[in-house]
Structure 1
Amino acid sequence: MQRAVDEGLLIARFAVVMDVKNHIIVSALRHDEPFDADATGREVRQSLVRLAAEQSDYADRVTDVLRERAARARGSVKHEHDYHPEDLASLDLRHAVYSRVATELKRLSDDDGYVGEIVETARQDAWGELGGAVESRLDRLPKPPVRNADYERNRTRRIRTLIDVDLAALKKQMDDI
């Protein structure tokens, strides 16, 4: 059971980091807001409490709905969510896992160190994603012309041609109008 609780907590942590990272990016790009560690910490705490409530609701659903339905079920199993009396032990285990994950998430929402780690991870992920987007964009920009020794050596001749030929032709066109 502890492994399932640990995995549930890892998934919840990942979800909170992703949610907060996206909030940081949107705040920076759309609202031109600077990063605020305190505000981000409050958001992390709210996300953890929200996830704890979801896990608690799942635990209640297992107890209230699924366990009751399983105890009354008869006949053959029709699909993967068709629980029968032989599934009661598994449902009790699910209830215990959901309850422990909910309790732990609620406890972690009050843990300044844990919240701070999530804030920093989300901040680093956000800036990494933004930096990657900028790098990708810069990689697509046209490359500047290559300047070599021939370019510098022939520059005077090219400017003279521009003045004597191209600008002279443009002046003639303007005079004819």
Structure 2
Amino acid sequence: MADAKRGDTARRLASWRRPKGMKLSDMVADGLYVASAATRLQLKNRILVDVIARGGDFDVQRLMPEARETLLTLAAEAEQDAQRIESARLRAKRRHSDSYGTHDYRSRDVRNLRKRQRQSEQVAAELRARAEDENELRTLVEDAREAAWSEVERNIDSTLRIEAARPDLEPDYGKLRDARMQSLRLIDLPRLAAHRRRNAQGAAGTLNDEKAMDAPAEKVGDVDLSELE
């Protein structure tokens, strides 16, 4: 599953059509940024599962091989994309008619396809270089740990805000309380009454009795309880 996600990320990156006037260096930088983000996400999820959910110990050295594998997988995807673009470019050189779709390339697309091919090749080369750089791998793991902790911190903060909520600290408590009480009166209590009535009828064996079905609908206020079933 993780490999499929990494491959999907790489394919989305490769198929992203950038403006024709964009510099190659900027295109490569964008590609590397997306690849690094995908790697950090993969590592963050691993930390959340192994360290936080399962109570394991955080070890940078243990996660560095996974960071390397992820970078190499994305590099391979970029190389495959470069080959695919090269094939499309060679076919486009012989086509001079109008295009029939987004990926139906023609001779006028050759220059842009060449640039995209070079982008994929350079991204792949840089990712392979980073995969062999221990400092780069360590940085990715440390960044992933920070991202994992930030996510846990947000969840803890959200939980504490809910569980430690106090009416006197809510400026709109009075207004919101009126709305909640109205909802309780008009919706929750009639629904509860309907539920209890059905249970009582079922226990007495009259749930499907014709007389019970023909009886006028019970109402609470202006609410028809039959509509709540």
User: For structure 1, which segment, 26-35 or 121-130, has the greater mean C-alpha deviation from structure 2 after superposition?
Assistant: 26-35
- The one of 117, 124, 130 equivalent to 1:95 is 117
- The one of 141, 148, 151 equivalent to 1:129 is 151
1:111-169 deviation per Cα after TM superposition (whole angstroms, max 9, x unaligned): 111111111110011011111111111111155899xxxxxxxxxxxxxxxxxxxxxxx
- The one of 39, 42, 53 equivalent to 1:19 is 42
TM (normalized to structure 2)?
A: 0.59
Measured in 1, the distance between the counterparts of 2:78 and 2:167 equals 59
Measured in 2, the distance between the counterparts of 1:75 and 1:96 equals 25
1:1-41 deviation per Cα after TM superposition (whole angstroms, max 9, x unaligned): 11111111111111111111111112134433221211211
Measured in 2, the distance between the counterparts of 1:30 and 1:3 equals 39
- One-letter amino acid matched to 1:16: T
- The one of 134, 138, 141 equivalent to 1:119 is 141
Higher Cα Rg, which structure:
1
Q: CA deviation at 1:80?
A: 1.9
Runs of 4+ in 1 over 6 A off after TM superposition: none
Does 1:8 find its partner at 2:31?
yes
Does 1:70 find its partner at 2:92?
yes
- One-letter amino acid matched to 2:37: F
The alignment-based identity, stated in percent, is: 31
- The one of 160, 164, 167 equivalent to 1:138 is 160
| Structure 1 unmatched runs, 5+ | 147-177
Measured in 2, the distance between the counterparts of 1:145 and 1:16 equals 44
Measured in 2, the distance between the counterparts of 1:132 and 1:22 equals 15
TM (normalized to structure 1)?
A: 0.75
Measured in 1, the distance between the counterparts of 2:133 and 2:64 equals 11
SS in 1 for 2:163: coil
| Structure 2 unmatched runs, 5+ | 1-23, 169-229
Tell me how many residue pairs correspond in the alignment: 145
Measured in 2, the distance between the counterparts of 1:125 and 1:112 equals 20
SS in 2 for 1:72: coil
Does 1:52 find its partner at 2:75?
yes
Q: CA deviation at 1:46?
A: 0.7
SS in 1 for 2:76: helix
